[in-house]
Amino acid sequence: MISTTSYFSISVPLIRENLRRFWVIPVFGFLAYFFTGVFPLLMAGEDSYSIRSYLQTTLDLRNPGFLIYACLFPLIASAMLFRYLHAPGSVSVMHALPFTRRSLFNSHYLSGLILAGLPVLATGVLFLCIGAPPLPPEAVADSASGYPWELFSPLHMLHWLGMSLLLVIFLYTLCVLSAIVTGNMPMHLICSALLNALLPALFFIGAAYCDRQLFGFPTLGLALSGIVNLSPLISFPVSAGQPGAPAVVAYILVILVLYAVTMLLYTKKPLERAGDSLSFRFMDVIVCYFIALLGMTALAFYFEDAMGGGTVSFYIGLAVGTLIAFFLARIIIKRTVRVWGRETWIQLGAYALAVALFLTGLQFDLFGYERRIPVAERVQSFSINPNMLSLSNGKIVYDYWSSAGYAGFQDPVNLRAIMAFHQRITENKASLRGADNDGDIRTNELQLRYTLSGVIGTSMNREWTLPWSFTRGDESLKTLVESAEFKELNRILTPEYPEPESVKFSQYGVMLDVNLSLAERRAFLACVEKDMRLETYAQFTDLANPLLMLDITLVDKLAGRADPRNRYVSVSVPRHYANSVAWLQENGYYEQILQQDESISSVTLVHYVYGEDPYNPYIASSTERYSFDDPALVRAALAQGESTFLNYRDRWELQFTVPGLSDSRGDSYYGADEDGSYFNYALYLNEGNPLLAQLEGNPLLERLPDSQ
């Protein structure tokens, strides 16, 4: 009895008493886990898809109830065990008893772990005892999807148990830290909730500033991948309990570090501050700074947004937000309105200085972020987003259900090419910056992700919005697009989806009445793929109106699966795809396609110019309208018209009506012209299009009255 108090620094009697006092917690915990987890499993007498699916969700650490319990029971345990710290009387009595602070802390910590962990352990044991529900044969195949073990095998359940315990220990440790640094119950609860959200919140805030200032900072992509691993509460459900070994190791390290830090803080905790919100003086500063950070960021971005996006309004918001939030925080912490003292000003000054340094660093890229290009030797592979390279001209095999980018470029030639392009971007960043704000110039977004060798810093992510003109003629991109690697990645038929179940033709948004047999589909697609392989970069970036669009349905190779997954892609067939055109002609489909073209009898040409009227920037200040119906000219327009405009504010638009699209469909894609007349398809003539010269002053054009 006495010896255990001094060896190992824990007190067994205390742990016993804690367990005796709070046996209710694991009982309720177990009941909760039981009725939301084990009970449904017991009820699954015969195979039922929903039960299996539910169990799988649970074992993937995605059961929302379980996640709530993982937050709730550790919190309750920590609150109950460390409640004595909240009142001067209880604090005195506990610390007068024969314990060292260390053994007191260890004993309570361990007690809470047991209390919060027992339900999980019991549930895991029950899972193992009950075993897997009966599985139909096709369900077994599911286990190939992402697990290194069989679905519902004991290993799978043990994995759940291990990860759940890790999660509970992690969250419990955070709650205990919060119990030690705060001095009363409400603060403890708030602090526990906040600590879990702290890292992601800081991350978001930092990302917000970087996104605003740094050219190339990837928001969405980075947020999704970076934030996820910051807390197991997020990463476990997202990754089905498999966030990767480095993440797991990191979490364990964090637990150990937090434990050690918390124990140290406990030994230093000033007991006379029991009942105060915060136990440590340094906490006052941290909390103030955090609140100031939140307030400052909120107001800065809000002001900028509400006052029209100027830098001045941003800085005004920064200043105002800082002052208000900081003083408010001081008032709350000091519990008095009189916070004008020296201490407040010094802290505010330090904070303002830090913020100023940070923002200056961002503004002038002192951290080198914008200029940085990865070291060539370290680049292993990279990925880019598909829509980077096409502007709705359909040259990218567009998969409707998958937004995954092209991953895994490894060819050294391509690596050099993309890095050269990256270099060119950084060299021209002054002129490229802000392109995303100019809504009038056609841009597209490049999401570039490098995978680098080494232990840390194994990925570099960048996102830029670049004007189309910048990417169109780039030599590096040419190398990339014409490379074998790219051609291989940009294919219609893949090993997983080799079978085209259906191929539909559409033109100007109208589905053509064409039915191809399986043999025909295979043959035609073979031609299309051949053409795609032969295509040059210039052709690839050509915006010319395609001959037709293909909507292709591909079937999952693993036939007979209970829920087969199809893949839906769309591809365009431009007029320069010689093999495809030849096949269409040979098989008699070409005329049908041309018919559509022929059915268009007249075309309206409109020249929109904006911006000359400062009071109405979004209404064209001048519009020239022409119409022509000369067949040759119409054919030329349809063939050479471009599928998208490059400059909104000064554009030539070819508008025409497609007989196949009925007028009752009043909300056709291109909507109404500004003078109220309808058209349902448009092509464009961008600067440099030879047709523009042809149409200039052409007598076959009939001038229409300007719209007012």
Partner 1 sequence: MIQVTDLEKRFGKVQALSSLRMNIKKASIYGLVGANGAGKTTVLKHIAGILRADSGHVTIEGEDVYENLRVKERSCFIPDDLYFFGSYSLKESARFYSRLYPVWNPALYTQMAARFELDENRKLSRFSKGMQKQAAFILSMSAAPDYLILDEPIDGLDPLIRKLVWKYIVDGVAERGMTVLVSSHNLREMEGICDSIGMLANGKMLIERDLDELKSDIHKVQAAFAEDVPAEGRYEGLRVLHKESRGVVDLLIVRNPKEEVERVIGGKSPLIFDLLPLSLEEIFIYEIGGGNHDIDNILF
Q: CB under 8 A: which stretch of 4-12, 136-144, 602-610, 648-656 binds partner 1?
A: 4-12
Q: Does the footprint of partner 1 cover residue 97 (CB under 8 A)? A: yes
Q: Does the footprint of partner 1 cover residue 334 (CB under 8 A)? A: no
**How far apart are CB 268 and partner 1 at their closest, in Å?**
9
Which amino acid type is present at position 576?
A: H
In the shown chain, the binding pattern of residues 256 to 295 toward partner 1, with x for contact by CB under 8 A and - for none, equals: --------------xxx-----------------------
Report DSSP state, residue 132. P
Is residue 687 within 8 A of residue 644, CB to CB? The reply is no
Give which of 65, 73, 71, 97 is closest to 84, Cα–Cα. 97
Long-range contacts of 298-305 (CB under 8 A, 24+ apart): 299/324, 299/325, 301/208
**How many residues form the binding site for partner 1 (CB under 8 A)?**
30
Is residue 491 within 8 A of residue 533, CB to CB? The reply is no
**Residue of 45, 98, 137, 697 that binds partner 1 (CB under 8 A):** 98
Q: Does the footprint of partner 1 cover residue 336 (CB under 8 A)? A: no
**Residue of 38, 70, 76, 91 that binds partner 1 (CB under 8 A):** 91
- Report the residue number, 11 or 36, with the smaller CB distance to partner 1: 11
**Residue of 19, 51, 94, 331 that binds partner 1 (CB under 8 A):** 94
**Residue of 19, 48, 95, 469 that binds partner 1 (CB under 8 A):** 95
Q: CB under 8 A: which stretch of 98-106, 289-297, 545-553, 598-606 binds partner 1?
A: 98-106
Give which of 261, 287, 284, 259 is closest to 273, Cα–Cα. 284
- Report the residue number, 57 or 100, with the smaller CB distance to partner 1: 100
- Report the residue number, 275 or 617, with the smaller CB distance to partner 1: 275
Which amino acid type is present at position 427?
A: E
Partners of 506 in the β-ladder: 511, 549
Q: Does the footprint of partner 1 cover residue 627 (CB under 8 A)? A: no
The rounded distance, in Å, linking the Cα atoms of 289 and 291 is 5
How far is C-alpha 649 from the geometric centre of its chain's CA atoms?
32
First to last CA, the chain: 97
Q: Does the footprint of partner 1 cover residue 96 (CB under 8 A)? A: yes
The rounded distance, in Å, linking the Cα atoms of 458 and 141 is 33
Long-range contacts of 221-227 (CB under 8 A, 24+ apart): 221/447, 221/449, 221/461, 221/463, 222/461, 225/461, 227/200, 227/203
- Report the residue number, 90 or 585, with the smaller CB distance to partner 1: 90
Is residue 528 within 8 A of residue 492, CB to CB? The reply is yes
Phi and psi at residue 507, to the nearest 5°: -140, 130
- Report the residue number, 76 or 292, with the smaller CB distance to partner 1: 76
**Residue of 101, 487, 491, 576 that binds partner 1 (CB under 8 A):** 101
**How far apart are CB 191 and partner 1 at their closest, in Å?**
22
**Residue of 89, 588, 676, 697 that binds partner 1 (CB under 8 A):** 89
What is the dihedral sign for C-alpha 246, 252, 254, 257?
A: negative
**Residue of 19, 44, 72, 87 that binds partner 1 (CB under 8 A):** 87
- What is the phi-psi region of residue 216: left when phi exceeds 0, alpha when psi lies from -120 to 50, beta otherwise? left
Q: CB under 8 A: which stretch of 96-104, 441-449, 453-461, 526-534 binds partner 1?
A: 96-104
**How far apart are CB 364 and partner 1 at their closest, in Å?**
43
Alpha carbon dihedral 385, 386, 391, 395, in 10-degree steps, equals 170
Note the residues at the interface with partner 1 (CB under 8 A): 1-2, 5-6, 11, 13-14, 16-17, 21, 84, 87-102, 270-272
